[in-house]
Homo-oligomer: A and B are copies of this chain.
Amino acid sequence: MAVEIPTDREVFTTTVKVRFYELDPYDHVNHTNYFSYFETARIEYLGEMGWGLDMLKEQGWQLVVVEITARFLVAARLGDELTIHTWVADVGRVKSTWKQVIYRGDQEVAHATVTAAFTDLAGRPRRVPEEFTHLP
């Protein structure tokens, strides 16, 4: 069930710290927040590649999430520092597939597969940028 982090391609790593308002009445992180953690990591990765939000909007790009499958293994708690590993697994003409896994120390907390499409600002499909196809 554990997700293997690939060694043959670029993997972007960042961290998030759990905040109090992300907890629910069961005293753990409400599962909906993991989708925000995953997104935060993808956006940071894009920024590091040179596709910051301002540049994307100026040049008329958005990266729209089409499908997500996420699996939750253990519950994160207040103050946990989580590490998120993100990589691009596959790139097509418009769509790209991202893999992400969240750890707390050496324990896997959750993982996700995200399909995202490049579109223009009106949401019409737009061909994946050339630089992007070299990633996986």
Contacts and interface: CB of A to CB of B under 8 A. Distances in A.
Chain A interface size, as a band, is 35 or more
B123 A47 contact: no
A63 B47 CA distance: 28
Judged by DSSP, the binding face of A is mixed
A31 B65 CA distance: 7
Nearest to A67: B71
Interface string A26-65: 1100111001100110011001000011100100001011
17 contacts: A16-B19, A20-B43, A20-B53, A21-B30, A27-B54, A27-B57, A32-B32, A32-B35, A35-B35, A43-B78, A44-B79, A47-B79, A52-B79, A66-B72, A67-B70, A67-B71, A68-B69
